[in-house]
A and B are shown apart, each in its own frame.
Chain A
Amino acid sequence: MDIKEIIKPENLVYKKTELMTDAPLSYCPGCGHGTAHRITMEVVEEMGIWEDTIGVAPVGCSVLAYDFMNIDMTQAAHGRAPAVATGIKRVWPEKYVFTYQGDGDLAAIGGNETLHACNRGENIVIIFINNGIYGMTGGQMAPTTLPGMKSSTSPYGRVIETMGHPLKMTELIAQLPGTYFVTRQAVHTAAAVRKTKKAIRKAFEIQKEKKGLAFIEIVSNCNSGWKMNPVDANNWMVDNMFPYFPLGDIKVDGELVK
């Protein structure tokens, strides 16, 4: 096939969802944020709910999520996305509302908002990108930074005695009766992307059925913050992040499975 043949419409095998804008992604090459955005928007498109979906962007690398997601969106103050989403959902209970947050946003500054939105069982979806670091501000230590892991504010590695343990926010909120579906996924391989997309679909279906809060952690990379190339970052993630943050469902249909 020559090039003209290949680009014929009938030979189209994959098309970017219309719910992603044409704006060039601001993410570093190899970063998981872009993939997580895309599959979220694909789910919203496939469910046919884009006219009724309102997203909440965090403060973090994905602060500009609203530049890329072609739906109505609100940009929340650092950590406050679950409260902002609560406000929207309570006055528009028939709409689909989701937050998209990093680990600093969700587990550090926004810990209280996360805990209480989960505990109230707000009928929203929370997508939590855990890359073990503050990507946006230049690679400072996050609540999820691993023991011994270097960051610009733990330059000699995270010291547990003085800096505390990495926080397993997902396991924590899974204990709350308000959460209905809690899972930890990744987007570093095609298979993982498919699984994560399925989980996101399930989360939005739960919201549709008004069953409670669905929480999806995506363990992701930050090649810039980790100071690695994208391939090394993914390998390092598999070797180091996954043992501490094991993938899989934690709570299904309101029941702990792990």
Chain B
Amino acid sequence: MGEVKLMKGNEAIAEAAIRAGADAYFGYPITPQSEVIEYLMVERPEDRTGMVVLQAESEIAAINMVYGAAGAGKKVMTSSSSPGVSLKQEGISYIAGAELPCVIVNVVRGGPGLGTIQPSQADYFQSTKGGGHGDYKLLVLAPASVQEMADFVDQAFDLAFKYRNPVLILSDGVIGQMMEKVVMPEQKPRLTNDEIIERYSDWATVGKKKSRERNIITSLELDPYRQEAHNLKLQEKYKKMEENEVRYEMINCEDADYIIVAYGSSARIAQKTMDQARAKGLKVGIFRLITLFPFPKNEINKLADRVKGFLAVEMSAGQMIEDVRLAVNGKVPAEHYGRYGGVIHSPEEVLAALEQKIIGG
């Protein structure tokens, strides 16, 4: 078993990046995730593993540093919170278009605009529907504990390299700021330069040997038919993710009449709601999303055959609910509940909403 620590979610992400054998982190401070870069600066990973940490001049610069380093075959990460992630969107679109692996963390706060530094889940659309310009998808992981903040970093890197696609860890101010016990993964060695050249010489800008064609990292294609072909290839990749990477957790769904669908901190709150409901004799289960894209639509659709209704609980005005409704496809009622703009719903409020919108309805 790895080392047990008491840590903030943001610190866990940072420590896990070092232990995953990341080569570089580029970021710009923003609440509520500044602990990520602060922790890295204190830890001096350049001494521990040789990992590079750089505070960029903006989120735009940070994501473009990620683009450059990822294109050069290295394992790179950046993190930010909502307004900063909005700034990164052009870069993320380029990374997705050029098919580069990287890990991006969004510790979501309330918006729109400068909004509030309090937690929110209102970046669901931006995270799962593309976010920037063009037809592309990120693989999105939603941690619900400090442990998952740590565990998902290494998984995210693996997925990023498996699909050569950016992977987003979509967290929120609650998970980022709260402290919990966490079992830290073992330190993985960073790949050596020789290993990187051997593994990624077929695409990465690691320096052109005379014996091979040059590698070009680009998302530009002037011929629309070739651009369409590239888009089709991307869509194939996203389909493969949908086939292979759907992750979720079902809690007490076997006998459930009513299902709360939630992710991240809303899923934690829903656990309490579930306990309260069950104490009242209401058979409530939780469907916790771990991947937001790919979305577990088949699993929810199947569940809809044997339950009476779904309540999508999220700290937003109703974003994930759209995917839940598409999955349920009208078989049973599916409604939304959530506080937002930085306000966190209580378990009691969720239970009241469940009784009023689903059970009573």
Residues of chain A at the chain B interface (Cβ within 8 Å)? 50-54, 56-57, 63-64, 66, 70-77, 80, 83-88, 90-92, 95, 112-113, 115-116
Contact = CB atoms under 8 A, between A and B. Distances in A.
B214 A76 contact: no
A75 B217 CA distance: 6
Contacts of A71: 208, 214
Contacts of A74: 67-68, 71-72, 205, 216-218
B54 A90 contact: yes
Interface stretch (B55-63, B148-156, B269-277): B55-63
Given A90-B54, A91-B72, A112-B58, A80 B64 contact: yes
Interface string B17-58: 000000110100000000000000000000000001010111
Contacts of B69: 87-88, 90-91
Interface in B173-224: 193, 204-210, 214-220
Contacts, number: 125
A72 B65 contact: no
Contact of A91 (B76, B209, B218): B76
Nearest to A78: B90
A77 B60 CA distance: 10
A73 B207 contact: no
B94 interface: yes
B210 A51 contact: yes
Interface of B: 23-24, 26, 52, 54, 56-58, 60-62, 64-72, 74, 76, 90-91, 94, 98, 193, 204-210, 214-220
Contacts of A113: 57, 60-61, 64
Nearest to A90: B52
A169 to B, nearest CB: 16
B214 A86 contact: no
Contacts of B76: 87, 91
A116 B193 CA distance: 27
12 contacts: A51-B208, A74-B67, A74-B205, A75-B98, A75-B220, A80-B60, A80-B64, A86-B68, A87-B69, A90-B52, A90-B69, A91-B72
Contact of A83 (B68, B70, B204, B210): B68
Contacts of B220: 63-64, 75
Contacts of A57: 218
A74 to B, nearest CB: 4
Contact of B208 (A50, A64, A80, A115): A50
A88 B71 contact: yes
Contacts of B90: 77
A19 to B, nearest CB: 9
Contacts of A84: 64-65, 67-68, 71
Contacts of A63: 220
A66 B218 contact: yes
